[in-house]
């Protein structure tokens, strides 16, 4: 029997879902057999950085930000109270890298799920990480 899987997505994956087709297609294709989560601050970070990225690319931010508003239909935003108890552990594991990424790690630890990221700061912090170019391997047995 195939089981449901889940992943915690960081902000760069949310941005990629908005900007490109590959991540969006992966989310669409696996949404019925996997659950996707992201800390609420990742959505806020994506919203903060997307306008500048889009401007550099000569694109209008309105359509992209509209898609970001609908992304919670595929990726559940999770409030800090759900993973706050693991903040100290997460910060200690990521301290020498980018400590601002602690919510992603804390949420992954609390849900006992791997992280989907392109951010090398999250590699080697004691939890499985998957990059977009390898993520389909994660779904092979789903």
Unique residue bearing structure tokens 């996707």: 36
Residue 1's pLDDT band, with cuts at 50, 70 and 90, is very low
**42: its two tokens:** 């990742």
pLDDT digits (tens, 9 = 90+) for 71-83: 999 999 999 999 9
What are the boundaries of each domain within the chain? 5-135
Buried b (16+ CB within 10 A) or exposed e, 106-135: bbbbbbebbbbbbbebbeebebebbebeeb
Domain 5-135's class?
alpha beta
For residue 56, the SS3 value is helix
pLDDT digits (tens, 9 = 90+) for 12-25: 999 999 998 999 99
pLDDT digits (tens, 9 = 90+) for 77-116: 999 999 999 999 999 998 777 778 899 999 999 999 999 9
Q: At residue 3, does pLDDT exceed 70?
A: no
């Amino acid at each position: 029997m195939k089981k449901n899987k889940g992943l915690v997505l960081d902000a760069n994956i949310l941005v990629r879902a908005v900007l490109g087709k590959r991540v969006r297609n992966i989310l669409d294709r696996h949404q019925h057999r996997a659950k996707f989560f992201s800390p609420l601050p990742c959505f806020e970070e994506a919203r903060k950085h997307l306008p500048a990225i889009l401007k550099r690319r000569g694109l209008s931010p309105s359509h992209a930000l509209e898609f970001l508003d609908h992304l919670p239909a595929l990726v559940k935003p999770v409030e800090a109270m759900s993973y706050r108890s693991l903040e100290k552990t997460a910060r200690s594991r990521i301290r020498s890298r980018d400590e601002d990424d602690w919510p992603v790690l804390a949420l992954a630890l609390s849900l006992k799920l791997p992280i989907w990221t392109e951010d090398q700061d999250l590699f080697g912090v004691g939890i499985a990480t998957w990059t977009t170019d390898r993520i389909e391997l994660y779904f092979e047995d789903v």
